[in-house]
Amino acid sequence: MRKHDDALHKSTIAAENPGDPVSAFGKLMEIVKILRSPSGCPWDREQTVESLLPNILEETYEAIDAVRLNDTMNLSEELGDLFLLITMISYIVEQTESIPVAATINAISDKLVRRHPHVFGNSAADSAEEVLEIWNSVKTKVENRSEKNSVLDSLPLSLPPLERSYLMQKRAAKYGFDWPDSIGYSKRYMKRLMNSGRL
- The pLDDT of residue 45: 97
CATH of the domain at 81: 1.10.287.1080
Q: How confident is the model at residue 51 (pLDDT cuts 50, 70, 90)?
A: very high
Whether residues 98 and 127 fall in one domain: no
Comparing 177 with 15, which gets the higher pLDDT?
Answer: 177
CA-wise closest residue to 127 among 140, 139, 118, 136? 118
Q: How many residues does the chain have?
A: 199
Q: Name the domain count of the chain.
A: 3
What single DSSP character describes residue 150? S
- The pLDDT of residue 149: 65
Whether residues 137 and 90 fall in one domain: no
Q: Is the pLDDT of residue 86 over 80?
A: yes
Angle, CA 80 vertex, CA 95 and CA 73 arms, to 5° = 175
With b meaning 16 or more CB within 10 Å and e meaning fewer, what string describes 59-87?
A: beebbeebeeeeeeeebeebeebeebbeb
Last residue of a domain, which of 110, 137, 171? 110
List the domain range (segments joined by +) for residue 161: 156-199
Whether residues 22 and 44 fall in one domain: yes
pTM for this model (two decimals): 0.71
Task: Kindly report, residue by residue over 154-178, the tens digit of the pLDDT.
Answer: 777 777 788 778 787 777 777 667 6
Q: How confident is the model at residue 142 (pLDDT cuts 50, 70, 90)?
A: confident
Q: Is the pLDDT of residue 4 over 90?
A: no
Whether residues 78 and 139 fall in one domain: no
Compute the average pLDDT of residues 122-131.
92
Q: How confident is the model at residue 3 (pLDDT cuts 50, 70, 90)?
A: low
Whether residues 20 and 74 fall in one domain: yes
Whether residues 86 and 127 fall in one domain: no
Compute the average pLDDT of residues 112-141.
91
Q: How many whole angstroms separate alpha carbon 145 and alpha carbon 132?
A: 15
Q: How confident is the model at residue 1 (pLDDT cuts 50, 70, 90)?
A: very low
Mention every residue, 6+ apart, whose C-beta is less than 8 A from residue 66: 72, 74, 75, 78
Whether residues 7 and 75 fall in one domain: yes
